[in-house]
Structure 1
Amino acid sequence: MIRNLIKSSLSNRIFSTQLCSNLTIYRFYSAPIKRFYKNTSILYADKKYEITLDQRKLKTPKGSIFQVDSEPLALAIATEWNSQQKTIERSRMILTSLANTAIDNPNNYSKEDIINYLLSFAETDTILFYNQAEPDLYKLQNELWNPIIDWFNKRYHTDLQKTDDISPPNFPANAKMEISKYLRSHTLDTLHGFQFAVDTLKSVVLAFACIDRFITPDKAVLLSRLEEEYQLGHWGRVEWAHDLSQQDLQARLSAAVFYIHCNSFSHFVQSKDVSRVSEAAVF
């Protein structure tokens, strides 16, 4: 039953842009305001991309000029604003909220703060805890989670081990070092995206697998909810509640992955341009 549910969910993907509350991004509780602009566009200034609303520059909640390094990201955010109808529903603008958080950094996080948070999260990763008390679920976890853990260990040169009881999983010291080294290669802006992805899935392993394109966002969400989906297979599901929750998680994760890829590519291009300038200076 659960296999049919997963197959059905993967073949009927619906992208929802509703944003649930999360500590890592700005929350918007105010009522929707009336749309006050007609057109949105982007402009390039000081090697960054800005969003304009009828020639007025978009600003962050703290009053800073809204600027991003990636043109595709700027276009996607401008599309979020342009897709608003009579009112502006900020809760449906996931990329805008995520970028605002990275720009304003309201909690004053450093790279080390986010890396340490993700490392501590990895020690209690969702897919490292297997449930032997439910034989059918345990079989399903081995079938669907084992390949993800094996991929992660091979990709990041770690040796993460699952646990079959209440004891914590084996999390070797070298795993922390390898994960930390990988995360440090990214900018602070990008790490905000990593944090949002991990918080969405409650799993570093699944988030990394999705970001590295080993699995799709919808599959990552289903694997993070495997035990819940198993129980729903027995007791039934309420479509307006359970399906909406699943679609919301898919939207949040998809936005986080897109945000990370846009920032990572931009950083790579900038680094490459700098290296070319350095080589030219030598000669």
Structure 2
Amino acid sequence: MKRFYKQTGVDEGEGGFRVLLDGKPMRTPAKAVLVVPTRALAEASAAEWAAVPDKAEINAAHLPLTRLAATGIDRVVARRAEVIADTAKYAGSDLLCYRATAPESLVRLQQELWQPLLDWAAERHGARLVTAEGIGFVDQPEEAKARLHEAVSAHGDLALSALYNLTHTAGSVVIGLAVSERRLDAADAFAAAQMDELYQVDRWGDDPLAEKHREGVRRDIEACARFLALLENARLRG
């Protein structure tokens, strides 16, 4: 649909803050009123709607924060246990645990960039994941997977929407949690998630399709990181 409203705003309502379009509370695709727990997130979402050009087609690319909030309300609330499980399962195959055997420069780069994140997960959450060389699958300790499951479960419904998206995009629940807990910013999370691809670009050059895909990954990570930051203390369940 095309832009149909003239003004956007925010007000405080039952359960949090609402985004207003021409004075009326906006609704999610499932027709629930979009209510978020912080004014900062509501204002950022309203700013997305305000930035849509007049008479332009409205699509998800214009509204990444609104989309994450609506997904949290419409889908995560009703399927919370499933979303937690689908996010935490990445602990069993986390990107950071699979290391190259050659060339030496890539091996060294993975060690320098990825190992500190695994060390952080071990220290912060008691989740000591095992690394492996090559493409062979490695079984992760049950205790480590359980600790990361607990860390995911601590997030509120809206935060889970972003954490799932971020984990899926990065291929790493450790990266997702590190962003949520401000251990990584969006740029560093992108660099960690795309390290192998960026290494190959440096060596062999790029192509338009790969570049377009990486730009989509960058935007997704940036949106999720910003969303989690705007949730402030409401990121975790009370």
Q: Same fold (TM over 0.5)?
A: yes
| Partner Cα distance (1:106, 1:194) in 2 | 11
Confirm or deny that 1:149 pairs with 2:118. Answer: yes
TM-superposed CA distance for 1:67, in Å, is 1.5
Confirm or deny that 1:120 pairs with 2:86. Answer: no
Match of 1:162 among 131, 139, 151: 131
How do residues 1-283 of structure 1 correspond to structure 2 at under 5 angstroms?
33-86=1-54, 87-92=56-61, 93-105=63-75, 108-110=78-80, 112-238=81-207, 241-263=209-231, 265-266=233-234, 271=238
TM-superposed CA distance for 1:228, in Å, is 1.1
- Could you say if the C-alpha distance between residues 36 and 83 of structure 1 is closer, same or farther in structure 2, counting changes exceeding 3 Å? same
Computed over aligned residues only, the root mean square deviation of the Cα atoms, in angstroms, reads: 2.2
| Partner Cα distance (1:228, 1:260) in 2 | 26
| Partner Cα distance (2:129, 2:152) in 1 | 17
Number of aligned pairs? 236
> Normalised by the size of structure 1, how large is the TM-score?
0.76
| Paired residues of 2:25 and 2:33 also in contact (CA < 8 A) | yes
- Could you say if the C-alpha distance between residues 47 and 115 of structure 1 is closer, same or farther in structure 2, counting changes exceeding 3 Å? closer
TM-superposed CA distance for 1:135, in Å, is 2.9
> Normalised by the size of structure 2, how large is the TM-score?
0.89
Q: For residue 219 of structure 1, give the secondary structure of its aligned residue in structure 2.
A: helix
Structure 2 unpaired stretches of 5+: none
- Could you say if the C-alpha distance between residues 127 and 77 of structure 1 is closer, same or farther in structure 2, counting changes exceeding 3 Å? same
| Paired residues of 1:198 and 1:204 also in contact (CA < 8 A) | yes
| Partner Cα distance (1:34, 1:142) in 2 | 48
Larger RCO (CA within 8 A; separation ≥ 6):
1
TM-superposed CA distance for 1:227, in Å, is 1.3
Over the matched positions of the two proteins, sequence identity in percent amounts to: 25
Q: For residue 105 of structure 1, give the secondary structure of its aligned residue in structure 2.
A: helix
Larger-Rg structure: 1
